[in-house]
Structure 1
Amino acid sequence: MPRHIGSKITFEELEKKFADLDVPEEQLAFYFEGDPSMSVRLRPGLRPDPKKVIMTENDRRTASRLHETKEEVVEGAMAFDWLNGYLTWRRQKRFLSKPDDGRPMLVFEGDSWFQFPLLLDDIVDVLLDRFGHVGWCMSSAGAELSEMVKGGGEYRGALDRFKDRWKVFLFSGAGNDIVGAKATGDGSVLEDIVAPFEQGKPARDYLKNDAYRRNMEGLRANYELILDDITGHYQGRPILLHGYAHAWPGGFDGDPRRVIYAAQDQWIGRYMRSEKLNIKDHILQHEIVTLMIDDFNDMLKSLCGGNNPRGKYKEAYHVDFRSLLTNVTDWNDELHPTDASFLKIGAAMDDMIRKVLATV
């Protein structure tokens, strides 16, 4: 007899639930608890709740095969890689379990805006479940742009595997490269690319430095690698890119956002207020982040010739979300929209998908 959702289960039973596509993610979420200390590289901090899941030492250390070629150890922060992997597997298995019914196939590669584990309906959730699209997703919360590009990217394997079927490629990346952790692990990239506080200094002047310029140049170079690769092998197939929206650094007085998986100032606010930067005014913080997001979107538009006359690549299209999220209440945390906002964003992406499909 199946156990009631409220009863305690073993880790093996939890894995079986993940492997069962008929078990909804809302039910899986019940067995997890938030842990902000695990929230590294912009990944929400989640782990199996010890009050609901029995885990032996062997469970924590046993390598779980997540993909055909990837294994991760379920221990400490690595538990999140286990979770990411299972959720990716579920999406892919669900796609493979359905016959080709003629709907245009999408391929997704990206970060937590394309794969937010369990607690939010991200862009891909909205496109697949609300707007009826079908697609293959390799996205992972916490993924960095440089990782997704490395070695031709996991996306190339998918594009080649489904070369006779896929119609549109969607990509989401760079948030982790702008406000994520330094490669050294000591602090945030923000502390290197934003200048320290000076009384009366305009927001733009905080970004007038070589480190910020090099960061943006690096993002452009990586996007060009992706676009050169895909357009070189699959000329004429549309590629959709987005540049996020104007995020609100958290932790200020009156900040209404409270989540279990991250502190209010987990990724931006605490580093803006750090001893190194000392930028305490949350309005100024937001103005600086807004300029960074605008610069990033301008860079993407210069690449996207599909809907920008001077864009470098005619196959690339820029989808602009900035006007859709204008208030702090549009955000679930510092970097991720609420479900309602993801629905608005997904609708904008759906609109662009349908427009570009008309050109294929």
Structure 2
Amino acid sequence: MPISSALSQRGQFRAMYMGLKAQHRLDRTPVMLCEGDSWFSTPLSMNLLDWIVSAAPGDEERGVPQFGQGGLFFRVERSGDHAAPQGAAPGRAMFAKDNIDDLLGWFTRYDFDAVLLSAGGNDFVDTWLHGALAGRAHLDPAEAFEVIVSTGRYEQVRTAYEMFLRTFHTARPGVPILAHSYDYPRRIGSAAELGLGNLGVAALLKKSEGPWIGPNVEGVIDGGIDAWRDFVRRMIDGFVERVLEPLKHDASLGGMFDYVDLRGQLTQDTQWNDEMHPTEAGFHQLAGIFRGRLIEKLPATKR
């Protein structure tokens, strides 16, 4: 099976890239720049990007799309990062100017074949969601979703995405940028269970993570978990319809941006680790879909 390398240390990436160049292997090795949130970085299990980089044993025999010559992945993702700038935590915004400029230096210095993004989910949960629904009560899912729309949050996230996409498209118009939707969560209100198996000794200091949605809708949206799932489904559909779709069809971006629609894939509670993150097996299922779309966008000699 071809071997891929995922390097979060910039010096390591530079050394590996130069080694492949010296061996005249860059003409058949795809090179990807990866920026994202916890769907690319969570340590709870093999996440979406981990599985995109490293296929599971037996995947090839089962027909799961593979990189023919392996790949080199430059990884800068961090759990908890937002797409749009945050007043309380300006350094945690992926699409803020400082971070864009930093990544642009790498993007223009090395011959990347694609950019992979996982961004937008954190912009609609946790303390932001609490503030958006503050003072509301006895709403149904449709009414609660209209409150979210009225905040202008989708426009803020789309503007942030657009700044990133336009900057990278201007620098290198031919390089595809591929993002993804999120799937519909099921275990609303469930925190991540942390242990030595997924966080190592850090788990001794922190026993759980989240939840980021349940406490903010309980007492606001009537109907229990089914209504809460309906509300979150509407928010994710809104992210696709109001952020990803308009950008995909923005002619001024030259067709370089696309996204993988992952909605409706993980329909069982057992496929979710907590209210926002699939299990390792769940991420593996989604990664096969993502990798297939990514391979289609690579140069023919690097598929």
The separation in 2 between residues aligned to 1:269 and 1:327, in whole angstroms, is 18
Opposite residue 12 of structure 2, the aligned amino acid is K
Opposite residue 97 of structure 2, the aligned amino acid is G
Unpaired runs of 5+ residues, structure 2, are 1-6, 56-65, 86-92, 196-205
Opposite residue 270 of structure 1, the aligned amino acid is P
Paired position in structure 1 for 2:215: 270
**How far does the alpha carbon of each residue in 1:207-240 deviate from its partner, in whole angstroms, 9 at most, with x for none?**
2137644111101110111111111111121000
The separation in 2 between residues aligned to 1:286 and 1:125, in whole angstroms, is 27
**How far does the alpha carbon of each residue in 1:100-124 deviate from its partner, in whole angstroms, 9 at most, with x for none?**
233110110111111112x311122
Paired position in structure 2 for 1:339: 280
Opposite residue 112 of structure 1, the aligned amino acid is S
- The equivalent position to 1:110 in structure 2, one of 24, 36, 57, is 36
Paired position in structure 2 for 1:36: none
Larger radius of gyration: 1
Deviation at 1:158, TM superposition (A): 2.1
Opposite residue 150 of structure 1, the aligned amino acid is A
The separation in 1 between residues aligned to 2:179 and 2:232, in whole angstroms, is 19
Determine whether 1:351 maps to 2:292: yes
Paired position in structure 1 for 2:12: 93
Opposite residue 189 of structure 1, the aligned amino acid is W
Determine whether 1:297 maps to 2:240: yes
The separation in 2 between residues aligned to 1:311 and 1:259, in whole angstroms, is 44
SS of residue paired to 1:325: coil
- CA change 1:280–1:311 in 2 (3 A) is farther
Deviation at 1:125, TM superposition (A): 1.2
Opposite residue 234 of structure 2, the aligned amino acid is L
Deviation at 1:202, TM superposition (A): 4.0
The separation in 2 between residues aligned to 1:312 and 1:262, in whole angstroms, is 47
SS of residue paired to 1:244: coil
Paired position in structure 2 for 1:286: 229
Paired position in structure 2 for 1:176: 122
1:303/1:312 contact within 8 Å kept = no
- CA change 1:239–1:259 in 2 (3 A) is same
Determine whether 1:322 maps to 2:263: yes
Opposite residue 273 of structure 1, the aligned amino acid is E
The separation in 1 between residues aligned to 2:74 and 2:154, in whole angstroms, is 29
The separation in 1 between residues aligned to 2:280 and 2:246, in whole angstroms, is 30
User: Could you tell me the TM-score, scaled by structure 1's length?
Assistant: 0.63
Paired position in structure 2 for 1:191: 130
The separation in 2 between residues aligned to 1:262 and 1:244, in whole angstroms, is 25
Opposite residue 282 of structure 1, the aligned amino acid is I
Opposite residue 355 of structure 1, the aligned amino acid is E
- The equivalent position to 2:164 in structure 1, one of 226, 231, 238, is 226
2:32/2:72 contact within 8 Å kept = yes
1:302/1:311 contact within 8 Å kept = no
1:273/1:280 contact within 8 Å kept = no
Deviation at 1:194, TM superposition (A): 4.0
The separation in 2 between residues aligned to 1:257 and 1:116, in whole angstroms, is 11
Opposite residue 229 of structure 1, the aligned amino acid is T
Determine whether 1:155 maps to 2:103: yes
SS of residue paired to 1:322: coil
- CA change 1:262–1:290 in 2 (3 A) is farther
SS of residue paired to 1:226: helix
2:154/2:239 contact within 8 Å kept = yes
Unpaired runs of 5+ residues, structure 1, are 1-86, 181-187
1:122/1:339 contact within 8 Å kept = yes
The separation in 1 between residues aligned to 2:176 and 2:104, in whole angstroms, is 15
Paired position in structure 2 for 1:243: 181
Give the helix-richer structure, 1 or 2.
2
1:193/1:212 contact within 8 Å kept = no
Opposite residue 106 of structure 2, the aligned amino acid is A
The separation in 2 between residues aligned to 1:176 and 1:353, in whole angstroms, is 24
The separation in 1 between residues aligned to 2:164 and 2:299, in whole angstroms, is 23
- CA change 1:272–1:111 in 2 (3 A) is same
- CA change 1:157–1:94 in 2 (3 A) is closer
User: Which range is displaced more, 255-264 or 217-226?
Assistant: 255-264
1:109/1:139 contact within 8 Å kept = yes
- Aligned residues, how many? 252
The separation in 2 between residues aligned to 1:155 and 1:326, in whole angstroms, is 36
2:144/2:221 contact within 8 Å kept = no
SS of residue paired to 1:323: coil
